Chain A
Amino acid sequence: MADTLTREIDEPVAPAAPALVRRERRTPMTYVLRLVAAAYLFFLVAWPVSLVATNTFDDGLGSIRALLEDPDVVVALQLSAYVAFFSVVINTVFGVGMSLLLVRYEFPGKRVLNALLDLPLSVSPIVVGLSLVLVYGGREGWLGPTFASWGFDVIFSAPGIIMATTFVALPLMIRELVPVLEEIGIEQEQAAESLGASAAQRFWRITLPSIKWGIVYGVVLTLARSLGEFGAVKVVSGNVLGQTRTATLVVEEKYLNFDQQGAYATAFLLAMVSVACIVVVAIIRPKNHA
């Protein structure tokens, strides 16, 4: 094919992020606001959390070691990880589907669905737990006895804990993905379609890579929320030592039994996982996806 462009078209390339724009003039108000923000965060978040860490390491690594040598605690940590894993997987798959549904399609009842999705954030987790017992409870629930007759217990066993955790963490993925999907629009997918891509190819090659960072953030939030879930889990788990007691329940148990050191150590482990997730994402996330 011939050379059709006789000379390079002279057009400025979109400039990179403007280099260090000078901030507005600093006034005394700037410092007052900074002080207020710093104090607020310090007294509400930083100080209490750091005290958990210092209390954990009062006698060096002893309390952590003691914790990991207690088989019941190890089972609880494993259960928490197991529950969090399934909650993340389920919420990711349904979260992506629901977000696509909410952003791309118009249907009757869309506003109601949208409002319902915020319910798990607005009701107390205790209510979530109790409502699940009402439906799936082995003796009195609506569906529970039927399941129980098939030899499948929901309440007071792992499925119930997973359901409660998934319920509580449900909106996080969706609320993370909806704005991302709205921003990317559908033109890229239409372009892919006109280039011959099937629906599956469009999803895997265009949609998924475009919302990748939304999903990563959604996973981190869901994971953190799932590991930390307490109220709903307390109601549905039955809190059986070494079987259905999760890490958060261990913290409460140890605290009530005056094993403060153990409680702080477990709390510290839980907090560390969440902090680690957020730090890792902050590091690997490319700069232009601010």
Chain B
Amino acid sequence: MSIEVSGLNKSFGDFVALQDVSVSLPTGQLTALLGPSGGGKSTLLRIIAGLDKADTGSVTIEGTDATHLPAQKRNVGFVFQHYAVFKHMTVAKNVAFGLEIRKRPKAEIAERVDELLRLVHLSQFAHRLPSQLSGGQRQRMALARALAVEPSVLLLDEPFGALDAKVRKELRDWLRRLHDDVHVTTVFVTHDQEEALEVADEIVVINEGRVEQVGTPDQLYDEPANDFVMSFLGEVTHLAGTAVRPHDIDVATAPLLAGAVEGTVSRMLRVGFEVRLTVLTVGGEEVSVVLTRTHARSLGLEVGATVWLTVTAGATVVPAMRPSLAG
């Protein structure tokens, strides 16, 4: 295990950012810390980097106890959401910074900077100032700068959060491919479940300062530990006391199955190939259902129609334990 965090607690005044967090992040993998804003994931990342100090608990990096090690001695690469570029230095100088601090020979630094700039496709911008680069280019430069010192772990704090949607998506794919080439243990923070599901080998879901679940994207999606994880990873609706995905509900126009819940279609919205229904059950629940347009047409659905709902066999269901998170 590359990063071992145990019993971490951290408060900012009255606000509890982390509450007894213990997690192991495996070597060589791309791990996402996923959770809503203010849930503590950035704080955890910053504590691993040594930029924040935990109140209690310990951090071990590559077998070394790093709990009391200052950030400068941890050999971690850190990439900030807002790039944190050195504004007064050229792109090449930015990338060379960590190597110059380590007093490497000039020729070696030049060679390494060259190699890294090629890796992040900024070779032609080596002599520009960061202010002459776009956001995505700045973030790639920041990544090259962090990789230059050959860190034992690479930490990225919402690395694409400040970029627009299209660039974010492209850089996300690029990060995945980069990781497949470079293989440095990487941890990135994100509040975007799609980003985490798409890029990460492993996801740690963090909410309200606690770890809710750790697992691969498939595990998280198919076997969510609780209502929160399930609702955070995709749309969720409630049917007869269970949380279920709207596309995992079967709609019938007659009471064919035992346990089917009777209701009335109160709203119907067509978006492209899918139809979104809101069904008001006799028990007073509002259930969202998604089905394909063809299916909806074959059932002859319309607003006001009476339908019977059942959860599809084999669907992921979780008991709805936290009504406050129903959605």
Contacts and interface: CB of A to CB of B under 8 A. Distances in A.
B170 A9 contact: yes
Contacts of B145: 191, 195
B110 interface: no
Interface residues of A, number: 30
A30 interface: no
A4 B72 contact: no
B134 A12 contact: yes
Given A4-B177, A288-B131, A209 B98 contact: no
A3 B116 CA distance: 11
Interface string B132-169: 11111100001001101100000000000001101100
Nearest to A208: B88
Nearest to B167: A11
Interface in A163-213: 184, 187-188, 190-198, 201, 205-206, 209-210, 212
Contact of B137 (A11, A187, A195): A11
B106 interface: no
A58 to B, nearest CB: 48
B50 interface: yes
A14 B133 contact: yes
Nearest to A12: B134
A93 interface: no
Interface residues of B, number: 51
A193 to B, nearest CB: 5
A188 B84 contact: yes
Contacts of B308: none
Given A196-B98, A201-B101, A209-B88, A191 B78 contact: yes
Interface of A: 1-5, 8-9, 11-14, 184, 187-188, 190-198, 201, 205-206, 209-210, 212, 288
Interface of B: 49-51, 70-78, 80, 82, 84-88, 97-98, 101-102, 115, 118-121, 131-137, 142, 145-146, 148-149, 163-164, 166-167, 170-171, 174, 177-178, 181-182
8 contacts: A1-B119, A1-B181, A13-B134, A188-B87, A190-B51, A195-B98, A196-B98, A201-B101
